[in-house]
Amino acid sequence: MRKLFVSMICVFVISASAPGAHALDLEGMLGAAVDAFKAVTLSDAEVRNMAAAAKKEMDSKNKLAPPTDAQAIRLARITRGISLDRGLRPDIKLYLAPDVNAFAMADGTIRVYSGLMKAMTDDEVCYVIGHEIGHVTLGHTKATIQTAYATSAIRRGIASSGNEIAATLSRSELAGFAEKLTHAQYSRAHELDADQYALQLMKRNNVNPGAAISALRRLEAMFGNESDIFASHPAPGDRAAALEKLQTAPVQELSRGL
């Protein structure tokens, strides 16, 4: 890793000494190399801090339900007693928005949209939350943050070379960072692993595991299997079929990590 970092700096230094190098922002380009290196060495604490910043951004853009809201009361009841790994304290709130969505972050943040609450039963909501927690627990969220951070580093490097459009993107990267985390496009394998994690979590907490399948079938009925939102994901029908095979399997631990 150190060799890779040194190599990136050498490339930038050589470029800066080439003809026309006076137009380059060497400091900015070196900073981009540092950011690219940093992306793959983020500590768990740094990941949590970045997640906390993303949470603050998302909360400022969405209407939070008051504690007296009927769906907020229902969500509190559904998630009562929920626990997270590594001693994280869950921060669970409801967004008053029609989206059928939910997300979890590495700092213990869990946000559920009222559209999801209205569309699903209590046990189905448990499955969705368990699925999102699975992405955090199994390390998928950290990988997403690393990717977003690295993308920011690449844009910063291009912007340092005088590309005004890239410079604009770089300055707006912070505003879009939360959006990347909360609407992450996980791989097919990660989606299936998170489904399996949710199923095991439901079994351990005596929640009907069949609700995982009914939730996916509900999504299939609402959005279909060919929707753009599933372009890089297994279709909900395929995920439901995979979970049907796992329903009778014994509970087992998956590898964990932020």
Q: Which residues are catalytic?
A: 132
* Contact yes or no for 183/229 (Cβ under 8 A): no
- E strands of 49-200, at which residues? 91-95, 102-104, 109-113
Q: If 0-12 CB within 10 Å is exposed, 13-18 middle and 19+ buried, where does residue 65 land?
A: buried
**Amino acid (one-letter) located at 207:** V
C-alpha to C-alpha distance for 28 and 225, rounded to whole angstroms: 44
With CA atoms as reference, report the closest residue to 44 among 137, 174, 176, 153. 137
CA distances to 41, 128, 224 from 230, rounded to whole Å, are: 30, 16, 9
